[in-house]
Amino acid sequence: MPAVRHPAVAGLFYPGEPNVLSRDVRALLAAASPCSLTPKALIVPHAGYIYSGAIAASAYAALGAVAAHIRRVVLLGPAHRIAIRGLALPDADTFATPLGNVPLDKAAAQSLAHLPQVLLSPEAHAQEHALEVQLPFLQTVLGNFSLLPLVVGMATAEEVAEVLELLWGGDETLIVISSDLSHYLSYHIAKKVDTATVQHVLRLEPPIEHEQACGATPINGLLLAASRHRLTPHLLDLRNSGDTAGSHDGVVGYAAFAFTAP
């Protein structure tokens, strides 16, 4: 029997009923601004859909021109639940959501086995929402694809970039970094902080600090790799929870970026 990583936050961060989830994701994608980019990589927020779903949709809607060519998604996000050193692979064959199962790229995972910063940690994946919330969008936009999911803990940007380099591939591979921006600042301070963070990303200028983005480590690794591959970053959306579904006290920032090849 294949080992399945079952959903941990269905019904919490996003609808748990397949029909409702499919309807909501498609509505978010339909409402996103049209885009003519051809992304190789995305940075996407990972809060509950009521808060960041519209911002996430702007990134996934940008895949329209390349979706038919994508066969594998390399998905990185920060460790929220347990502390780990390095980048953690799951001990699973598939990741499940209410929309179905996504097979893991076991050969790609095996290609990382020699790297000292890569470990196997089912515990890091079991309750982690940062990767899971991306899957219904990917399932809706791409259809059939394989997944290489990595939870990123304490690591250097170079260690992340080394992993990305091994998995870079061609047009068949999409890289997705899951990250929110600032946390629990007042609305106006958050806007200033997040705007400054966006400028660092657009200039491919690490380091992004963890106070600026919870997924700072995988973002910094992507920025190094993007610079080496001469990718161009594009800001697709920038808002915070005060703009979407929350008060202006203690907001969380969200941004969506697409990175395109020359």
Domain range list for the chain:
4-260
CATH class entry, domain 4-260: alpha beta
Element (H, E) at 250: none
Mean pLDDT across 41-56: 98
What's the confidence (pLDDT) of residue 54?
A: 98
Average pLDDT over residues 35-60: 97
Whether the per-residue pLDDT at 251 is higher than 70: the answer is: yes
87 or 35: which leads in pLDDT? 87
Which of these, 117, 47, 110, 120, lies nearest to 77 by C-alpha position? 47
Q: Note the pLDDT tens digit of each residue in 170-183.
A: 999 999 999 999 99
Confidence of residue 241 (pLDDT cuts 50, 70, 90): very high
Q: What is the pTM of this model?
A: 0.97
pLDDT band at 78 (very low <50, low <70, confident <90, very high): very high
Q: Summarize the confidence of residues 37-41 as an average pLDDT.
A: 97
Residue 190 has pLDDT above 80, yes or no: yes
**Mean pLDDT, range 249-256, rounded to an integer:** 97
Residue-averaged pLDDT of the chain: 97
Q: How confident is the model at residue 56 (pLDDT cuts 50, 70, 90)?
A: very high
What pLDDT score was predicted for residue 246?
82
Torsion of CA 108, 113, 117, 120, to 10 degrees: 90
Can you tell me the distance from the alpha carbon of 236 to that of 104, in angstroms, rounded to the nearest whole number?
28
pLDDT band at 35 (very low <50, low <70, confident <90, very high): confident
> pLDDT above 70 covers what percent of the chain?
100
Nearest residue to 233 (alpha-carbon basis) of 223, 243, 218 = 223
How many Å separate Cα 197 from the centre of its chain?
17
Whether 1 has a pLDDT exceeding 70, the answer reads: no
Q: How many CA atoms lie within 13 A of 111 on its CB side?
A: 13
Residue 36's pLDDT is what? 87
